[in-house]
Amino acid sequence: MPAQIDDAFLSLPLRTLADAALSRARELGVQHADFRLERIRGSRLSLHDGRLDGLSDSEDTGFAVRVVHDGTWGFAAGVDLTPETAVRVAEQAVAVARVSRPLSTHHVEMADEPSHGDVSWVSSYEIDPFTVPDDDKITLLADRSAGLLAHDLVAHAEASLYSVLENKFYADLAGTVTTQQRVRLHASLEAVGIDKETSRFDTMRTLAPPVGRGYEYVTGTGWDWDAELDAMPDLLVEKLRAPSVDAGAYDMVIAPSNLWLTIHESIGHATELDRALGYEANYAGTSFATFDKLGSLKYGSPVMNIVGDRTVEHGLSTIGYDDEGVAGQSWDIVRDGVLVGYQLDRGMAALKALGRSNGCAFADSAGHVPIQRMANVSLQPDPDGPSTEELISRVERGIFVEGDKSWSIDMQRYNFQFTGQRFYRIENGQLAGQLRDVAYQATTTDFWGALEATGGPQTYVLGGAFNCGKGQPGQVAAVSHGAPSTLFRGIRILNTQTEAGR
């Protein structure tokens, strides 16, 4: 049975407050007004060596009114859920717009969006994690930690579980009214290994990605935790005893558990139109993929196809409707290696006459104004593509990588380097043991231009993160990135110990 929107949220005076705020905004002569009420519940727990190390629960509830008055944005928020406060917040939003008008550099317009009426949407999950007792969660993570600690070379085990239940109610003067509920969850275990003979230490973390699922994910729906945890100690031992890589050029087979982060940094952020137009220049940077290159920039090889998607099941950025009342969509960003699209909100779409927004407006709380945020940006598999093993078999001398770790990229999303959880030497089409101290380095277009083949749908995995940051004041959003296994030719490999001067 599909999940239902929480009755406790529905019992709030959603429509009463929206009617009061929007009616007052209309009286004050706005061109646009929207009302958004949010309740965000969060739960974090962590264990160190199987013992509870931290436990917290949070709940944030409030509402916001955003307007366009005399071609200028205005925004205000409140926490007192009364019609009187809603009216006052609407008046404050209009007052902000009036004060800002002399400073505004352009007349705000919003891309058209049809009215969607009064609609509801709930993300795809089975078990609300907030209905599961904390004791059950702690016991499960403690048992899994004990399994890791049973190995002689595992000195410590860290475990964590982060859950979010997000409710949003939205209404605007055009007649769209949306009530939504999203659940997302991130579970992780990490083993710390110490080789007493060499005094070397290292870590190995689960590859299970954060997901738009419920507690069923932690117990085995969508991920084989038992198999991964059983293999981790031996993989960690092999990593501790692995030889250091020789720097140079290598062919690479990259698993989706690593490639998702490279997609996020070199494509996801670079194709946000506000960044490409310079709106993030004083904080998180700009983009080499500037607007004048739309339709002409060779982002990568002809087998590179990138899709922005706000609809994919279990995606962290999946929604029914965004924070401007735009329905979730899927669209091309890179097609056959060429930049053909950006991520847009209604303001950005209108600014560059790009037609309809593709639904990328999001605010992480009622106290923040919606800004353009990342969709689920994913590399598409080859419908008839090879398996990971077949990709590896095409490599005579190379490296296979799984899992994400540290990374670095410049302010234009162009020069980067990434490491990973584990790297394997490839010799004559076969894996030949793990390597240490590996990082791969490239420019974005050189890297994606070196993409020779993508795996088939059977290799595709949706990765992602809870903590994508953007904006001032800073906002955090969760986002997924799917990828198949991939084959790249002639990628520069660094030895991280040598680069660190050791």
d(CA 345, CA 356): 9
- Taking residues 271-295, report their average pLDDT: 94
- Taking residues 245-263, report their average pLDDT: 98
- Taking residues 32-39, report their average pLDDT: 98
The 3-state DSSP class for residue 288 equals coil
Domain 7-240 has CATH 3.40.720.10: no
Give the per-residue pLDDT at 323: 98
Give the per-residue pLDDT at 195: 87
- Taking residues 310-322, report their average pLDDT: 98
Give the per-residue pLDDT at 1: 60
Give the per-residue pLDDT at 283: 83
Which residues make beta-bridge pairs with 102?
Answer: none
Tokens of 398: 């190379």
Residues 6+ apart with CB under 8 A from 197: none
d(CA 263, CA 257): 11
Could you tell me if 207 and 224 are in contact, meaning their C-beta atoms sit under 8 angstroms apart? no
Give the per-residue pLDDT at 3: 83
pLDDT digits (tens, 9 = 90+) for 388-406: 999 999 999 999 999 999 9
Give the per-residue pLDDT at 50: 98
Which residues make beta-bridge pairs with 120?
Answer: 179
CA neighbor of 285 nearest in space, from 298, 266, 305, 311: 266
| pLDDT at residue 502 greater than cutoff 80 | no
Give the per-residue pLDDT at 396: 98
Give the per-residue pLDDT at 501: 81
pLDDT digits (tens, 9 = 90+) for 193-241: 998 888 899 999 999 999 999 999 999 999 999 999 999 999 999 999 9
The 3-state DSSP class for residue 103 equals helix
pLDDT digits (tens, 9 = 90+) for 432-450: 999 999 999 999 999 999 9
Computed on alpha carbons and rounded to an integer, the radius of gyration of the chain in Å comes to 24
| pLDDT at residue 495 greater than cutoff 70 | yes
CA neighbor of 32 nearest in space, from 97, 84, 87, 104: 97
Q: Which has the higher per-residue pLDDT, 284 or 285?
A: 285
CA neighbor of 339 nearest in space, from 301, 406, 293: 293
| pLDDT at residue 121 greater than cutoff 90 | yes
- Taking residues 69-92, report their average pLDDT: 98
Strand order in the sheet with 306-309: 338-339, 330-335, 306-309, 376-379
pLDDT confidence tier of residue 482, bands split at 50, 70 and 90: very high
Which 3-state string (H, E, C) describes 16-32?
Answer: HHHHHHHHHHHHCCCCE
| pLDDT at residue 47 greater than cutoff 90 | yes
d(CA 464, CA 209): 6
The share of the chain scoring above pLDDT 90, in percent, equals 95
- Taking residues 321-335, report their average pLDDT: 98
Domain boundaries, the chain: 7-240, 248-499
Amino acid identity of 393? S
Residues 6+ apart with CB under 8 A from 69: 28, 29, 30, 31, 94, 97, 98, 101
Q: Find where tokens 């029914």 sit.
A: 320
Cα torsion 354, 281, 279, 468: sign:
positive
Which residues make beta-bridge pairs with 163?
Answer: 43, 185
Could you tell me if 271 and 264 are in contact, meaning their C-beta atoms sit under 8 angstroms apart? no
Q: Find where tokens 């209009």 sit.
A: 94
Could you tell me if 349 and 111 are in contact, meaning their C-beta atoms sit under 8 angstroms apart? yes
Which residues make beta-bridge pairs with 487?
Answer: 253, 453
- Taking residues 34-59, report their average pLDDT: 98
DSSP E strands in 146-246: the ranges are 154-172, 177-195, 200-205
Q: What is the mean pLDDT of the chain?
A: 97
